Amino acid sequence: MTFSQQLRQEVDTIWEASFQHPFVKGIADGSLSLKSFRYYVLQDSYYLSHFARVQAFGAAKAPDLHTTARLAVHAQGTAEAELKLHANFSKQLGITEAELAKFKPAPTAYAYTSHLYRAACVGQLGDIIAALLPCYWLYDEIGQRLKGMTPKEPIYQEWIAAYGGEWFHEKVMEQINRIDEIAEKVTESDRERMSELFVISSQYEYSFWDMAYRQEEWPIEKQNSIINS
């Protein structure tokens, strides 16, 4: 069993909970409220802007120029392809520039990105890939599962097409292969730490669906909050 197969087995229960979450099932059958999806688009745009930066951290920490170049391509792909998709969603959902200027990340989005930065700043390349990989891989599995579904809401059809597409699948497989290559070269202690990061990110992926479905807010409102970076 490869290291990636071990990781996938370890998080099977967590990922199954994501597959069954009403947010994901609501995209598949079209029953998800557009209000929840609109909230998700705002939060996910924030998340992806930091995801791309952490990919760039990985490029900087790579041991060879080929890996640096490939991770730079991934960071560029996030910035150009996925954020372009979200910009299109924002236009369809009527999200204004004024809203974007006043946007504040929800607790879960803020915590998840902070987790990624911790892996990037404290860890090695393997830690960064382990923390990033659940977002890649889980979305790919959901996209493959939902491929062929035809929700009446067109924007959900676009979401399914994006994450069920071959371009995205190829990027995911590249990172899965990369983590297996890294795992073969590091210590058992390193692999245990990578596994822990992978599990934590998987938990955050579930929490992200739930955050969007519930339209999570900070427990105490405070004027002029500085949580906007």
pLDDT exceeds cutoff 70 at 225:
no
pLDDT exceeds cutoff 70 at 228:
no
Q: What is the DSSP string of 145-169?
A: HHTT---SSHHHHHHHHHHTSHHHH
Q: What would the pLDDT profile of 62-86 be if each residue is shown by its tens digit?
A: 999 999 999 999 999 988 877 788 8
| Superfamily of domain 3-214, CATH level 4 | Heme oxygenase-like (1.20.910.10)
* Position 227 confidence tier, pLDDT thresholds 50, 70, 90: low
Determine the pLDDT at residue 51: 96
* Position 101 confidence tier, pLDDT thresholds 50, 70, 90: confident
Rounded CA gap, 4 and 1, in Å? Answer: 8
pLDDT exceeds cutoff 80 at 153:
yes
- Decide if 196 contacts 103 (C-beta within 8 A): no
Q: In one letter, which amino acid is 60?
A: A
Element spanning 14, H or E: helix 12-20
- Decide if 51 contacts 132 (C-beta within 8 A): yes
Determine the pLDDT at residue 127: 98
Rounded CA gap, 46 and 78, in Å? Answer: 12
pTM: 0.93
- Give catalytic residue positions: 135, 205
Determine the pLDDT at residue 191: 98
Mean pLDDT value across residues 2-30: 98
Least Cα distance to 24 among 155, 200, 142 occurs for: 142
CA dihedral 170, 76, 80, 173 (to 10 degrees): 10
How far is the CA of 133 from the CAs of 5, 8, 32, 114, 229, in angstroms?
Answer: 13, 11, 26, 16, 23
Least Cα distance to 178 among 80, 59, 47 occurs for: 59
Mean pLDDT rounded to a whole number for the chain: 94
Sequence spans of domains, the chain: 3-214
Rounded-to-5 percentages of helix, strand, coil across the chain: 80, 0, 20
* Position 120 confidence tier, pLDDT thresholds 50, 70, 90: very high
Determine the pLDDT at residue 224: 57
pLDDT exceeds cutoff 90 at 176:
yes
